[in-house]
């Protein structure tokens, strides 16, 4: 997508660590990525936007490690409630206070394991936006559908998940549930059909100017190159546990950002047209989101 001023929006690469890392391993990973991302030209220039979502307990360590770098720190969830008598909840107010910039909302695991409905997710998105956090809103069909039906179902889910939410940009992470943890991501043509529909829906809503659409679900090497300008980036899972592999994706994102800047606004390209690092490798080298 493009910004209101017509300039190319940054290519976004996000990482959720879920609960794979203990505290000390997380601290070491943060330090490694902070050094690498801080020295990456595309990240330093803002052409590539990076966010990292650790566990709640790891947020202060992440904020300390990434201070002075462009890397944004996120939370894996957010309370739908304002501060008050809600035991075990973490509010958007407190997350913003400690420097959190983005909040992951509506992941398939939260929907499946904790019974979160679109109504609950919409309240969480509203709370995040009301307190200056950008939602990373996870959407996607549970069963494999045709491209048209998947696009329609996902756009409808997006509308339900943002119902009543204040204006403001969001990062929509398209994660077809059937592709999460699979040996390969969804086919490029399928991803492109759904993300294009999501982008059109966001562009039609003037209150969502500045939003981005990224893909997650067994995302890995060369996928961003294959998708070209049909997405605004990737949402990575276990693949990003290896900092070398994550930097390889940042290089691909840099190549896409350069191509976007050269093309200018309104010249989106389809999948498989972008050139970048890793050309010729299949997307099955990725790991589960």
The two three-digit tokens of residue 66, written as one number: 């990434």
Question: Looking at residue 67, what DSSP letter applies?
Answer: T
Q: At what angle do helices 23-39 and 59-66 cross, to 10 degrees?
A: 20
Helical axes 147-161 vs 118-130, angle rounded to 10°: 60
Active site residue 147: no
Distance CA 250, CA 89 (A): 34
What is the phi-psi region of residue 76: left when phi exceeds 0, alpha when psi lies from -120 to 50, beta otherwise?
alpha
Burial tier of 181 (Cβ tally within 10 Å: 0-12, 13-18, 19+)? middle
Catalytic residue among 80, 116, 175, 252: 175
As given in the structure block, the two tokens for residue 97 are 């206070």
Q: Active site residue: 40, 80, 104, 107, which one? A: 107
The DSSP code for 2 is B
Going by C-alpha positions, the residue among 7, 12, 2 that lies closest to residue 48 is 12
Let me know if 40 is a catalytic residue: no
The catalytic residue positions are: 107, 175
């Amino acid at each position: 997508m493009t910004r209101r001023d017509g300039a190319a929006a940054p290519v976004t690469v996000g990482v959720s660590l879920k609960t794979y890392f203990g505290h000390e391993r997380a601290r070491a990973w943060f330090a490694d990525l902070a050094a690498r991302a801080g020295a990456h030209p595309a990240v330093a220039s803002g052409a590539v936007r990076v966010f990292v979502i650790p566990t709640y307990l790891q947020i202060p360590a992440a904020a300390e490690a990434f201070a002075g770098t462009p890397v944004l720190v996120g939370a894996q969830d957010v309370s739908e409630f304002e501060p008050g008598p809600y035991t075990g909840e973490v509010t958007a107010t407190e997350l913003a206070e400690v420097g959190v910039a983005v909040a992951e909302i509506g992941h398939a695991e939260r929907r499946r394991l904790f019974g979160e409905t679109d109504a609950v997710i919409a309240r969480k998105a509203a709370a995040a936006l009301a307190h200056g956090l950008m939602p990373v809103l996870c959407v996607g069909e549970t069963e494999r559908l045709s491209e048209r039906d998947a696009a329609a179902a996902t756009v409808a889910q997006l509308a339900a998940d943002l119902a009543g939410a204040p204006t403001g940009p969001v990062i929509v992470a398209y994660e077809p549930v059937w592709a999460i943890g699979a040996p390969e991501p969804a086919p490029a043509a399928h991803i492109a059909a759904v993300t294009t529909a999501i982008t059109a829906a966001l562009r039609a809503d003037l209150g969502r100017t500045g939003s981005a659409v990224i893909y997650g679900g067994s995302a890995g090497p060369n996928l961003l190159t294959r998708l070209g300008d049909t997405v605004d980036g990737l949402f990575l899972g276990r693949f990003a546990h290896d900092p070398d592999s994550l930097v390889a994706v940042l290089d691909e994102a840099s190549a896409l950002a350069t191509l976007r800047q050269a093309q200018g606004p309104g010249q989106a390209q389809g999948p498989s047209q972008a050139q970048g690092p890793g050309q010729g490798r299949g997307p099955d080298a990725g790991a589960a989101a």
